[in-house]
Amino acid sequence: MVLAIDRRSHTTKFEHLIDTGVNSGPERAYLVAVDATSADSVWSVEDSLNELGALARTAGAEVVGTMRQRLTHPESATYLGKGRVQELVDIEKQLNCDLIIFDDELSPTQQRNLEKILNARVIDRTALILDIFAQHARSREGILQVELAQMEYRLPRLSGQDVEFTRQAGGSRGATGGVGGAIGVRGPGETKLEIDRRRIRSRISELKEDIEDVRKQRAIHRRQRAAQAMPVIAVVGYTNAGKSTLFNTLTEAGVLAENMLFATLDPVTRHIVLPNHQEILLTDTVGFIHKLPTKLIAAFRATLEEVVEADMLLEVVDISHENAIEQSETVTEILEELEAADKPRVTALNKIDLVDDPDDVDTSLYPNAVPVSALKNQGLDALLETIARVLAESMEEVDILIPYRKGDLVELFHRRGNILKEEHLEDGVHIVGRIHRTLRGYFLSYSIAE
């Protein structure tokens, strides 16, 4: 996957350059990680490497081997220690590797040094994730956000020479094509470097402006939805947890759900009715992953605002995954970064059909957890009831007297609120009940409580 800019029209497109394997087989990738004793991650290096392998396969590569080194922290010059880098030179020859993928974001210096020593292409976890995002971006919003993230990633990594933005589709697997190929650029050439930097910077500002327009559009849509006065629930969770499958089952929408990482990039919103007849809006959105680059989160701000602005979160956890707990911790960390971790949350412990002994699942580890199978349609009534209950808990109590001429407001309360007491008095209908904060404004002026 390579980014190409048509300078005349200033439109951006992604060209698919990953070898599909029809002619010469998929690209052969070797994975490398440092097991840093200083890291405070809940993830083990094995699990992190397994996930890197899944990312590599999603991007279209074949994993031919892995290496890890235990260090206090990655070496600043070459990520791995000297001896291990030499070992890597032999391995890449033996295994005939096309690319070496590092499990952490490499600094520009590390990347340049490694590229000098190794023959295969050097890419890192961030470049790989960006590559998958680029493959899956469909909407204008998604494409703009991915391009911004790619440009931000590229800028500090430019080292002159060849920043020809456009490459030929279907090119060979030379030093620059294939998985993550658009990202690494090397060579001397000060003047050219300056020009390239300026060009990228100006593209970054253009993209930011375009994304700002997208953000404003989204804000308008949100305001329109707010006028419908339905609470918005954002479906969040680790990539591949089953968010889109659950979303489809609950809403009968035809969102793409696939066994691949980052199948969904664009948020979709649909309306559903809870068992207590309360109407809500459900939003499916992009998945999270550990070591998700902050720049990428920043670039996806327009999309992620759907999560930030939601009234409640429905977290989907793949409870059949051996790293379910680590994944959920990562989701919470990213929600904290987005300042959305304090919202009321219900957890769907999904893929329960794949768990040998569902009774052994410890639901107490997750907030308001309900075991479900989105695919087999199990546990969904209980899930909806829990959503209704948690939503009710986040409602505010009101004591109001609505005049008889405002019959529509009484009806609205009946549909969307929880009535604790209702009596028909001379001046109107007296209601004591709970209503979601998005609707409170309609009733405030009829309040009779202190």
Ligand X SMILES: Nc1nc2c(ncn2[C@@H]2O[C@H](COP(=O)(O)OP(=O)(O)OP(=O)(O)O)[C@@H](O)[C@H]2O)c(=O)[nH]1
Select from Mg ion, ligand X, none the partner in contact with residue 371, using the beta carbon and a kind-dependent cut-off of 5 to 8 Å.
none
Query: Based on CB atoms, which residue is closest to ligand X, 151 or 257?
Result: 257
- Asked if 313 touches ligand X (CB under 6 A), the answer is no
Please, which residue, 182 or 316, has the CB nearer to Mg ion?
Answer: 316
* 395 Cβ contact list (under 8 Å, min separation 6): 417, 418, 434, 435, 436, 437
The tokens describing 300, both together, are: 């996806």
Residue closer to ligand X, measured from CB, 371 or 428: 371
Of 12, 48, 244, 323, which lies in the binding site for Mg ion, with binding defined by CB under 5 A? 244
Residue 180 or 379: which CB sits closer to ligand X? 379
Distance in Å from the first CA to the final CA of the chain: 63
Under rule CB under 5 A, how many of the chain's residues touch Mg ion?
4
Amino acid symbol at 96: N
Contact 318, 288 (CB under 8 A): no
Site for ligand X in 220-239 (CB under 6 A): 237, 239
Q: Which residue is nearest to Mg ion (CB)?
A: 264
CA angle 343-345-351, nearest 5°?
Answer: 150
Q: Is 323 annotated as a binding residue?
A: no
Is residue 31 marked as binding? no
**Residue whose C-beta lies closest to ligand X:** 287
Which does residue 241 touch among ligand X, Mg ion, none (CB within 5 to 8 A, set by kind)? ligand X
Question: 3-state class of 281 per DSSP?
Answer: strand
Q: Is 240 annotated as a binding residue?
A: yes
Min dist CB 19 to ligand X, Å, is 23
- DSSP secondary structure string for all residues of 423-439: EE-SSEEEEEEEE-HHH
Q: Is 160 annotated as a binding residue?
A: no
Cβ atoms of residues 3 and 14 within 8 Å: yes
> Shortest distance, CB of residue 243 to ligand X, whole angstroms?
3
Contact 323, 52 (CB under 8 A): no
Rounded CA-CA distance 199/195 in Å is: 6
88 vs 263, which CB is nearer to ligand X? Answer: 263
Identify residues 240-269 at the interface with ligand X (CB under 6 A). 240-245, 257-259, 261-264
**DSSP one-letter string for 344-379:** -EEEEEE-GGG-S-GGG--GGGSTTEEE-BTTTTBS
- Interface with Mg ion by CB under 5 A: which residues? 243-244, 263-264
Binding-site annotation, residues for GTP = 237-244, 262-266, 284-287, 350-353, 373-375
- Interface with ligand X by CB under 6 A: which residues? 237, 239-245, 257-259, 261-264, 287, 350-351, 353-354, 373-375
